Amino acid sequence: MDERNLLAARFEAERPRLRQAAYRMLGSLGEAEDAVQEAWLRLSRADGGAVENLAGWLTTVTARVCLDMLRSRRSRRETSLDADATDDIPSREAGVDPEEETLLADSIGIALLVVLQTLAPAERIAFVLHDMFDLPFDDIAPIVERSPEATRQLASRARRRVRGGGTAADEGLVAQRGVVDAFLAASRSGDLQGLLAVLAPDVVFRGDALAVRYGGPTELHGAEAVAASFSGRATGARPALVDGAVALLVAPRGKLLLVLQLTLKDGKIAEISAVAEPERLAGLDMALLDR
């Protein structure tokens, strides 16, 4: 086997790990594949035989590519707020199997992928590389262009945002989670009586303009109307902590589509607000729920 073929074989052995890391950093399988392919192109142009730690070199290069992609994505988002909001609906990426991406997203955790997307690019890179792939801060620091101590602070800040404050010791959140879990189970199974049991008689549902464009109602009043609307649905919803309360995220393939914010009163759901407009989603504080 010649030197180039040997290098290609060594790269292919690293590809699954690089792909996993890039997907966690980018939240898009298509972009993760692009980042890993760029790492190969850079390796093929470099003197691969002189690289002592190929795995570490490839991780560093892939992470740098991902960081550039995250920064570019944020810049594009800031300059395209007037774009048609329906462009945000997840679609099939070229060359990407949506079923494969769905399985990959589920294996990592839909809520985690969504919360990761709320982090600043450098925070996300530091958190993923350290907390998920056990890289030391000394190795991550050059990637994010910070000192090791500053990189540690980036990861710590990201960890606090990801984990939020939704711990099992918080009795209020535990009670909310119980109601929300019962609502989800009844919705998914089409159990109307189960839905009625967790909805206040005068419950109100409201959806913003984009949620309505996604096919939801504008407004519903009363437990029977809301229960009928949610019966057999919510299969893709996942619980998370949003603005300090238990809510539901709908994020096909890990791409946030809408948030269902729930207001509870006397142990029942009194109001449901469907938030889908990008500027409103961007203003929400999201974190994982421990349980």
- What residue ranges define each of the domains in the chain, with the CATH number in brackets? 3-163 (1.20.140.160), 171-287 (3.10.450.50)
Structure confidence at residue 90 (pLDDT)? 41
- Whole-angstrom Cα distance, residue 99 to residue 201? 39
In this prediction, residue 210 carries a pLDDT of 95
Region 162-167 average pLDDT:
67
pLDDT at residue number 50: 74
pLDDT over 90 (residue 23) = yes
Amino acid occupying residue 246: V
Give the residue-averaged pLDDT of 142-164. 94
Q: Which two tokens stand for residue 258?
A: 């809408």
Q: Check residue 161 and give its pLDDT.
A: 86
Q: Name the token pair of 147.
A: 């000192």
**pLDDT band at residue 2, thresholds of 50, 70 and 90?**
confident
Q: What per-residue confidence (pLDDT) applies to 73?
A: 83
Q: Mean pLDDT, to the nearest integer, of 166-184?
A: 82
The answer on pLDDT for 92 being more than 90 is: no
Q: What is the pLDDT of residues 195-229, one digit of tens each?
A: 999 999 999 999 999 999 998 899 999 999 999 99
Q: Are 205 and 217 in contact (CB under 8 A)?
A: yes
Q: Average pLDDT, stretch 131-159?
A: 96
Percentage of the residues of the chain whose pLDDT score is greater than 90: 71
- Concatenate the DSSP letters of all residues of the chain into one string: --HHHHHHHHHHHHHHHHHHHHHHHHS-HHHHHHHHHHHHHHHHHS-GGG-S-HHHHHHHHHHHHHHHHHHHHHHHHHT-TTS-GGGGS--PPTT--HHHHHHHHHHH-HHHHHHHTTS-HHHHHHHIIIIIT---HHHHHHHHTS-HHHHHHHHHHHHHHHHTTB-TT-HHHHHHHHHHHHHHHHHHHT-HHHHHHHEEEEEEEEE-HHHHHTT--SEEESHHHHHHHHTT--TTEEEEEETTEEEEEE-GGG---EEEEEEEETTEEEEEEEE--HHHHHT--EE-B--
Reading phi first (left if > 0) and then psi (alpha if -120 to 50, else beta), residue 204 is in beta
Mean pLDDT, the chain, whole residue set: 89
pTM, to two decimals: 0.83
> Does the pLDDT at position 47 exceed 80?
no
Residue 163's pLDDT is what? Answer: 85
* Mean pLDDT, residues 97-103 taken together: 87
State the pLDDT confidence band at 171, using cuts at 50, 70 and 90.
confident
Q: How far apart are CA 110 and CA 128, in angstroms?
A: 15
**Residue 3: its pLDDT value, please?**
76
